[in-house]
Structure 1
């Protein structure tokens, strides 16, 4: 899932900070953007793990536009971080899905072309995107 990140650019006297607004407590900094960005992955996973341990749902990403008007992020730059949240969504369940063969082949081609993990990972992310797009929180 692609989560927006707010970037507070540093200089020779201050670190570059990154906040992931959709994940409570997910903020970090580094001497360079690259360091801060790498650290953002670690911080995001730590915060997601803590949310799940407390029994809270995994927050789905919103859009950059959703956060841009927030004064807490005034004058910050924006980007995206791609986080795999499937490990925090609960135990996997095997399901039998019936789909037209041409759709299955298109899904498999998309998975291969975009170097995704699997057909299941693609279908999970597509389902979460659809649910998120309709403004519903997903069940855990």
Structure 2
């Protein structure tokens, strides 16, 4: 097993919420990536999930995924100037960006393995390809 990298931290811009409005979250480095939450902590957590989904979709479409900018660089941009913004970070696992193939060892009952192989064959896939396809479609 390889050593896991530390989390990546994307700067996020948070719009203040209230008793009647959710906190809005924008990820400046990822166009169109946004989220919200009724509580501040929920908004930040939802932003991390939105980032993961954005990255997965971009990779599936063959697009480049920007790395996180520095907070200072983003705050210096005129479109993010002003006291109405709260700045923070959402953490994501760098494995989201890694397409390196890795061999894994799994243990399955023979009857399940036979069913898996049959379904993979019917789909015109290898066992590994079929498992990957199932995981990505879940």
Shift of 1:60: 0.4
Partners of 2:33 and 2:94 in 1: CA distance: 14
Secondary structure of the 2:29 match is coil
Kindly state the Cα deviation for residue 31 of structure 1 after the two structures are TM-superposed: 1.0
Give, in whole Å, the separation in 2 of the partners of 1:21 and 1:91.
27
Cα distance in 2 for partners of 1:87, 1:29 equals 22
Is the partner of 1:91 in helix, strand or coil?
Answer: coil
- What do residues 53-83 of structure 1 show as CA deviations (whole Å, max 9, x unaligned)? 1111221011111111334333311111221
Counterpart mapping for 1:57-72 below 5 A: 57-72=64-79
SS in structure 2 at match of 1:49: helix
Q: Give unmatched runs, 5+ long, in structure 2.
A: 1-7, 104-138
User: In angstroms, what is the RMSD of aligned CA positions?
Assistant: 1.9
In the alignment, structure 1 segments of 5+ residues that lack a partner are: 95-140
| Whole-angstrom distance in 1 between the partners of 2:13 and 2:86 | 6
After superposition, the C-alpha distances for 1:10-47 in whole angstroms (9 at most, x for unaligned) are 11121111111112222111111111111111111110
Residues 37 and 46 in structure 2, CA contact (< 8 A), matched pair in contact too: yes
Partner of 1:45: 52
Q: Secondary structure at the match of 1:12?
A: coil
Q: TM-score, normalised to structure 1's length?
A: 0.60
> Between Structure 1 and Structure 2, whose CA radius of gyration is higher?
2
Per the alignment, residue 16 of structure 1 pairs with: 23
* In 2: Cα distance, 1:8 partner to 1:19 partner: 8
Shift >6 Å, 4+ stretches: none
Q: C-alpha offsets along residues 107-139 of structure 1, whole Å, 9 cap, x if unaligned?
A: xxxxxxxxxxxxxxxxxxxxxxxxxxxxxxxxx
Distance 1:73 1:93 in 2: 41
* TM-superposed deviation, 1:88: 2.4
Equivalent residue, structure 1, for 2:90: 81
| Equivalent pairs, count | 94
